[in-house]
Amino acid sequence: MREYLEIEGGFPLSGEIRISGAKNAVLPALAATVLAPGRYRFLNWPRLLDLYTMLELLSRLGARVETRGEILEVDTTSLEGVEAPYELVRRMRASILVLGPLTARFGRARVALPGGCPIGKRPVDFHTRGLQLLGAEITLDHGYILARAPRGLTGTEIVFDFPSVTATENLLMAGVLARGETIIQNAAREPEVVFLGEMLQAMGGRIEGLGTDQIRIQGVPELHPPEEPLRIIPDRIETGTYLMLPGLVGGEIVLRETEPRFLKTPILRLREAGLEIESEGNTLYARPGKELKPLKIATAPYPGFPTDLQAQIIALLTQARGVSFVTETLFEDRFHHVSELWRMGADIERDKRTAIVKGPVRLQGTEVEAHDLRASASLVLAALAAEGVSRIYGLEHLDRGYERIEEKLASIGARIIRKSYEATEPF
């Protein structure tokens, strides 16, 4: 059996939504449990497919996973496996995050190459070259990355051509157990990278420069689990997605337990588009302005406009009066949602890496297919604004990054329901 969302659009939404823990923070944090034996405890962990895939991978490596009320506990005391098989890596590219920790702790790792990605090429060169600079021997064998460092890793200077988030995280975890000093130049600055670094500090790691483009790591001989449970930071992409609702359907939205400082650029751009957004502590308030205005946006590494909000803001801009330009600078093929939005009546042209969005248009409910995680979120937003009923297929993508999305939206008035169908049902 597979599932789809059925959404009847065209109704204003008002109410409160609690933001979940960040997918892109919990996954590297779970990978970091590989670095030292012991019990790790996490609070505010999101119930997502990607999280369960990472937990399955850790279990394959020998970890014990339990939930105790709101606490997720991972015990890596008996960890002994060093392989991330393709059957798991193909479901979640973030599985490559165990490459650095396994090599650092055990001196070897065997991790499947991720393969193709629906939003473009994501080469693993930054990961493997960085480990080679740290002294690991890297070979490719029948679709697997083999890393060997029997004498351990040695600190060095690593310079990225591009501030890759996962490569920064992988090498941050590898460097923390390397002998001497490791310097990562042009490092990613995302809040999720900072969260991982702070976790490693709580484990005994010596790290400076988190949140800047130069991270300095003084290697230590061993680490230990943090003494206190770690609370996963709020998901800024989930927050940004829901912030757009008033511009699409009207109503007033309150987003609780989030972190506005992680969203300075998206909030600024949404205000430029005409939304009225206010913050108070860890709460955001959003409501529509007089008229939705067009924007010119280019995605960029943090603190720029996130590529993970590109698809959603295109859905929003179909309702803006005028012509908007949205340029994707990070991934060459992250416009799969455009063809599905066409089916709903959107007026969008493609010019290489730029989407030209003309509005406002009257979106119409229909059947659409989600091809990646953020594309699926954009289709949900569009369906909420469309006249009539939409069916959104491909929920395996949506469930990777949005916890109980239909329950959260239903709680503020959305007419949305999850339904099942036989896999042989024609689409």
Active site residues: 117
Distances (CA, A) of 70 to 41, 42, 66, 238: 10, 8, 11, 20
Evaluate whether 144 touches 113 at the Cβ level (below 8 Å). Answer: yes
Query: In 3-state terms, the chain is what percent helix, strand and coil (to 5)?
Result: 35, 30, 40
Backbone angles phi, psi at 388, to 5 degrees: 90, -160
Cα(205)–Cα(203) distance, integer angstroms: 6
Parallel, antiparallel, or unpaired: how do β-strands 108-112 and 144-148 relate? antiparallel
Evaluate whether 368 touches 344 at the Cβ level (below 8 Å). Answer: yes
> In 359-404, where does DSSP find H-type helix?
373-385, 395-398
Burial string for 218-245 (b: 16+ CB within 10 Å, else e) reads ebeeebebbeeebebbbbbbbbbbbbbb
Evaluate whether 189 touches 303 at the Cβ level (below 8 Å). Answer: yes
Q: Residue 216: which H helix or E strand, with range?
A: strand 214-218
Q: Where are the beta strands (DSSP E) in 69-125?
A: 71-75, 83-84, 108-112
SS3 letters for 226-252?
A: CCCCEECCECHHHHHHHHCHHHHHCCC
CA 71, chain centre distance (Å): 21
Cα(191)–Cα(29) distance, integer angstroms: 13
Amino acid in the structure at residue 185 = Q
Cα(379)–Cα(242) distance, integer angstroms: 13
DSSP letter string, 282-350 = TEEEEE--SS----EEEB-STTSB-GGGHHHHHHHHTTSSEEEEEE--S-TT--HHHHHHHHTT-EEEE
User: Which token pair is 387?
Assistant: 């006249």
What is the three-class DSSP state of 23? helix
Q: Residue 198: which H helix or E strand, with range?
A: helix 191-202
